[in-house]
Amino acid sequence: MTEKFVTPEPLPTPYERELLTILIEEAAEVQQRATKMLRFGIHEVQPGQPHTNRERLSIELGDLMAVITMSLEPDVDLINAAIVENQIEKKIIKLEKFMQSSKPEDVVDD
């Protein structure tokens, strides 16, 4: 029998654990809203809801970005801002190369 691996690194603090939990929850809410947009349309309003799917996705992304912002704070060691910024640029270049569709020329943002 082999010895059980025990990480030599400290585990996240309670604050870090809570931020990570909220990050997971918000990412899942963004995923759910994007799926609803695919299924029911960008401007569909669910019964009993005051907002379109576009507005609701925008709200969820704002919530996610708030948690990301909190995780980037200097006294919180969860995310490396330099790596995030570098990766954003790399991902945009990659998407421009590999996306199978083009952005419409006449997109109107309201």
Confidence (pLDDT) at 107: 59
**Residue 42 in domain:** yes
Buried b (16+ CB within 10 A) or exposed e, 88-101: eeeeeeeeeeeeee
**Residue 88 in domain:** no
Q: Which residue stretches of the chain have pLDDT < 50? A: none
Confidence (pLDDT) at 38: 98
Q: pTM of the prediction?
A: 0.85
Give the number of domains in the chain: 1
**Residue 52 in domain:** yes
Confidence (pLDDT) at 83: 96
Nearest C-alpha neighbor of 104 from the set 11, 22, 20, 42: 42
Please tell me the distance from the alpha carbon of residue 79 to that of residue 12, in angstroms, as a whole number.
13
**Residue 46 in domain:** yes
Confidence (pLDDT) at 79: 95
Tokens 């490396």 sit at which residue?
A: 80
**Residue 92 in domain:** no
Confidence (pLDDT) at 109: 62
**Residue 1 in domain:** no
**Residue 98 in domain:** no
Confidence (pLDDT) at 77: 84
Tokens 């025990």 sit at which residue?
A: 6
Confidence (pLDDT) at 103: 86
Which residues span the domain enclosing 68? 14-79
